[in-house]
Chain A
Amino acid sequence: MGAALEIRNLHVTVEDQPILKGVNLIVRQGEIHALMGPNGSGKSTLSNTIMGHPAYEVTAGQIIFDGVDILEMEPDERSRRGLFMAFQYPVAIPGVTVANFLRNALNARRRMTNPEDKGIPIPAFRKLMIEKMDMLRMDHEFAGRYLNDGFSGGEKKRAEILQMAVLEPQIAIMDETDSGLDIDALRVVSEGVTTLYGPNLGVLVITHYQRILNYIKPQFVHIMMDGQIVESGGPELALHLEEQGYDWLREKQNGSGK
């Protein structure tokens, strides 16, 4: 059986403010999950916490990946073990080219399995980059640009998926990868993700809209409100949301809460 990411009763505070209030979720390799929910409900907080951002403090609960509790691990170790997050707001690193960055990231992974590893040979790396950039219909000169520096919104999102394609994670979280992409780009990027998808990749797609889910078809849909997953279901749940919005859920919550 493949690796799983298990979130158990996760409570997270940011600057002493409770944001996540008991999240439970399991994403296995080979599965696609969608996570939806109103602005500010805690979706990015969840993904940042999974990757180990230092600003997010876990006050209770566990995050288990591939059978190991990863809460004490630094972000780099989580990444090397096979977790990946496509950022909602990717960060610019001026002066560092996409290619140089990715080669180093790839080599860091290789060194984890073999400390003696000398790194991927340049020609092999170049071939890999070209293959993945072609898949995402990216201009090859992209590899020589400085990472996210002056990228358009859509270019940033595409570059995130390029990184995912090169690093080949076991579980990938895509935090609003669809926002900022034009209609054609959304299709290209989604098709890219679909190509990567298989028994060795589990995906958690965070989104506000059904559109991306028409391409990347989830088996599971979850809805987060106020720091908890309040509803889970199949693909029909996303369609229902698209028509109805969140009010019915809020009412349901209030009803059950009192």
Chain B
Amino acid sequence: MGDAEQLQGIREAYDEQYGFRDPDTYVFKARKGLDAEIVGQISEMKGEPEWMRTQRLKALEIYQSKPVPTWGPDLSGFSEDDIYFFVKPAEKEARSWDDVPEDIKRTFDRLGIPEAEQKFLAGAGAQYDSEMVYHQVRKELEAQGVIFKSIEVGLREHEDLFRQYFGTVIPAYDNKYAALNTAVWSGGSFIYIPPGVRIEMPLQAYFRLNTASIGQFERTMIIVDEGAFLHYVEGCTAPTYSTDSLHSGVIEIVVKRGARSRYTTIQNWSDNVYNLVTQRALVHGDASHEWVDANLGSKITMKYPSVYLLEPGAHGEILSIAFAGRNQIQDAGGKVIHIAPNTTSQIISKSICKDGGRSSYRGLLKVYPDAAHAKSTVVCDALLLDDHSESDTYPYIEIENPSVTVGHEATVSKIGDDQLFYLMSRGLGEDEANAMVVNGFLEPLTKELPMEYSIEMNRLIQLQMAGSIG
């Protein structure tokens, strides 16, 4: 098969299932580009309090004053002047799928969201371009005081709680794209789980881009109160366009004493999307937080979920999966900051590259002087599917306390001819054999996922593998 044909194959498979597009049906679209007027327009359309508008405008200044980072993948090809920063999909956010505009509902049907909600979710949100078009949580959870709303509704209905936490985990000055998000945020979830409430089924939000050349700036805030438990899942897809889009989210999470939370991302962007996301969790005493971060697709992803272990007994885990195909760069990893004694953490990163894709593990493990007896392990494994793909690791480790135990391992392997031959000699086609080796490589992570999501992951890997000839 020729290169062009191969590429065609991959595109077709993605287009068929995720890369399709709907006609434009937005109710409002700001002009292209970014300035104070656009920011003001967003704030006004959302009917926000003055303090929020002020914060947005301040953040815009920070964004404009910070240089584009040059320590990672090359972002110089991206131009903000070509981007629509705000595209409002519908007049109102619906509480029932029947009230979602027909075209949009059809898209989410096709992506299987209402069905998943029925079967195994405790609540679901769906964002289309710049705003949530649907948000709903099971009645019995609402009765227990669980809040699961769009971020806009969160601000409107729970302003005190919102203001108490907004920008405290990730301030606007944290990095250029956190500043950008703070200026133009739109959509995302607002979640509060009261003390002791354990939600066994996941809450899920799905982020969908439709318009070409759009920027999506989801802002999510999650507070898991003492002794509570939450699993939140985020899925993302987009149509395939020849022009670039931008997804730049900020996720702030606070996990209080004895609570446990897990945030799973299964991102499956088309390969014209820049994906620059900041996500951080603050973990209190004897609490734990886990990031399960699966990054498939996109043009460039830069994403390093972080965990701050603030009090004794806090635990953090980052399980990162990156799949870089043709013309894709996955710069992913994680950061763990041990601030208090007896805190523990684990980072496991698995990356896969094929058809010239590039993946980097970029991680930081930092142990402050007070964090006596902290323990951490970092494992990063890369699997290359051919000779022209590449993988790097940048593991930064800064330890300022001598009583700390740290383990670090890194491996790079290639799918061998012998593995392929073995599987094919049992009747599996080349793609299937490759996908099987890849799924096996990821198995230590996918087995951590609820069954529905591990099936989904396996299917997505299969899709990524389709059309590849080594």
Interface residues of A (CB under 8 A from B): 51-55, 74-76, 78-80, 84-85, 87, 90-91, 93-96, 101-102, 104-105, 108-109, 112, 146, 163, 167
In the complex, are the beta carbons of B424 and A95 less than 8 A apart?
no
Asked, given contacts A74-B430, A104-B432, A108-B429, whether A93 binds B424 with beta carbons under 8 Å apart, the answer is no
Interface residue? B418 (CB, 8 A): yes
User: How many angstroms between the C-alpha atoms of A85 and B422 in the bound complex?
Assistant: 9
In the complex, are the beta carbons of A87 and B440 less than 8 A apart?
no
| Chain B residues within an 8 Å CB radius of A146 | 440, 443
Interface residues of B (CB under 8 A from A): 416-419, 421-430, 432-433, 436-437, 439-444
In the complex, are the beta carbons of A109 and B440 less than 8 A apart?
no
User: How many angstroms between the C-alpha atoms of A76 and B18 in the bound complex?
Assistant: 30
Q: Which residue of A lies closest to B417 (CB)?
A: A54
In the complex, are the beta carbons of A90 and B440 less than 8 A apart?
no
| Chain B residues within an 8 Å CB radius of A163 | 426
A144 to chain B, nearest CB (A): 11
Asked, given contacts A95-B444, A104-B432, A108-B432, whether A51 binds B425 with beta carbons under 8 Å apart, the answer is yes
| Chain A residues within an 8 Å CB radius of B443 | 94-96, 146
In the complex, are the beta carbons of A91 and B440 less than 8 A apart?
no
Asked, given contacts A76-B427, A76-B429, A104-B428, whether A53 binds B437 with beta carbons under 8 Å apart, the answer is no
In the complex, are the beta carbons of A91 and B427 less than 8 A apart?
no
In the complex, are the beta carbons of A90 and B422 less than 8 A apart?
yes
B80 to chain A, nearest CB (A): 42
7 closest A-B pairs (Cβ-Cβ)?
Answer: A95-B440, A95-B443, A96-B440, A79-B427, A91-B422, A75-B424, A105-B426
Q: Which residue of B lies closest to A100 (CB)?
A: B436
Asked, given contacts A104-B432, A108-B432, whether A93 binds B422 with beta carbons under 8 Å apart, the answer is yes
In the complex, are the beta carbons of A167 and B426 less than 8 A apart?
yes
| Chain B residues within an 8 Å CB radius of A105 | 426-428
| Chain A residues within an 8 Å CB radius of B444 | 95
Pick from B425, B433, B437 the residue with the most CB of A within 10 Å: B425
User: How many angstroms between the C-alpha atoms of A54 and B437 in the bound complex?
Assistant: 18
| Chain B residues within an 8 Å CB radius of A79 | 424-427
| Chain A residues within an 8 Å CB radius of B433 | 76
| Chain A residues within an 8 Å CB radius of B419 | 91, 93
Asked, given contacts A53-B421, A87-B422, A104-B432, whether A93 binds B427 with beta carbons under 8 Å apart, the answer is no
In the complex, are the beta carbons of B424 and A76 less than 8 A apart?
yes
A14 to chain B, nearest CB (A): 13
| Chain A residues within an 8 Å CB radius of B432 | 104, 108
User: How many angstroms between the C-alpha atoms of A109 and B418 in the bound complex?
Assistant: 21
| Chain A residues within an 8 Å CB radius of B422 | 87, 90-91, 93
| Chain B residues within an 8 Å CB radius of A54 | 417, 421
| Chain B residues within an 8 Å CB radius of A91 | 416, 418-419, 421-422
User: How many angstroms between the C-alpha atoms of A115 and B258 in the bound complex?
Assistant: 53
| Chain B residues within an 8 Å CB radius of A167 | 426-427
| Chain B residues within an 8 Å CB radius of A101 | 423, 426, 436
B176 to chain A, nearest CB (A): 38
Known: A53-B421, A105-B428. 15 other contacts (CB 8 A): A75-B421, A76-B428, A76-B429, A76-B430, A79-B427, A80-B427, A93-B437, A94-B443, A95-B439, A95-B440, A95-B442, A105-B426, A108-B428, A109-B427, A146-B443
User: How many angstroms between the C-alpha atoms of A84 and B437 in the bound complex?
Assistant: 21
B430 to chain A, nearest CB (A): 7
| Chain A residues within an 8 Å CB radius of B429 | 74, 76, 108
In the complex, are the beta carbons of B430 and A96 less than 8 A apart?
no
B298 to chain A, nearest CB (A): 25
A171 to chain B, nearest CB (A): 13
| Chain B residues within an 8 Å CB radius of A112 | 427
User: How many angstroms between the C-alpha atoms of A54 and B426 in the bound complex?
Assistant: 15
Selected A-B contacts with CB under 8 Å, 5 pairs: A87-B422, A90-B422, A93-B437, A94-B443, A146-B440
User: How many angstroms between the C-alpha atoms of A179 and B444 in the bound complex?
Assistant: 32
A181 to chain B, nearest CB (A): 20
User: How many angstroms between the C-alpha atoms of A146 and B442 in the bound complex?
Assistant: 13
Asked, given contacts A91-B422, A93-B436, A146-B440, whether A55 binds B417 with beta carbons under 8 Å apart, the answer is yes
In the complex, are the beta carbons of B425 and A85 less than 8 A apart?
yes
B74 to chain A, nearest CB (A): 33
Q: Which residue of A lies closest to B426 (CB)?
A: A105
B359 to chain A, nearest CB (A): 18
| Chain B residues within an 8 Å CB radius of A52 | 421, 424-425
User: How many angstroms between the C-alpha atoms of A104 and B426 in the bound complex?
Assistant: 9
Q: Which residue of B lies closest to A92 (CB)?
A: B419
In the complex, are the beta carbons of A93 and B440 less than 8 A apart?
yes
In the complex, are the beta carbons of A96 and B439 less than 8 A apart?
yes
Residue in B417, B421, B436 whose beta carbon sits within 8 Å of that of A96 in the complex = B436
User: How many angstroms between the C-alpha atoms of A167 and B443 in the bound complex?
Assistant: 25
B422 to chain A, nearest CB (A): 4
Q: Which residue of A lies closest to B413 (CB)?
A: A94
Residue in B418, B428, B440 whose beta carbon sits within 8 Å of that of A94 in the complex = B440
| Chain B residues within an 8 Å CB radius of A90 | 422
User: How many angstroms between the C-alpha atoms of A163 and B426 in the bound complex?
Assistant: 8
In the complex, are the beta carbons of B425 and A104 less than 8 A apart?
no
| Chain A residues within an 8 Å CB radius of B424 | 52, 74-76, 79
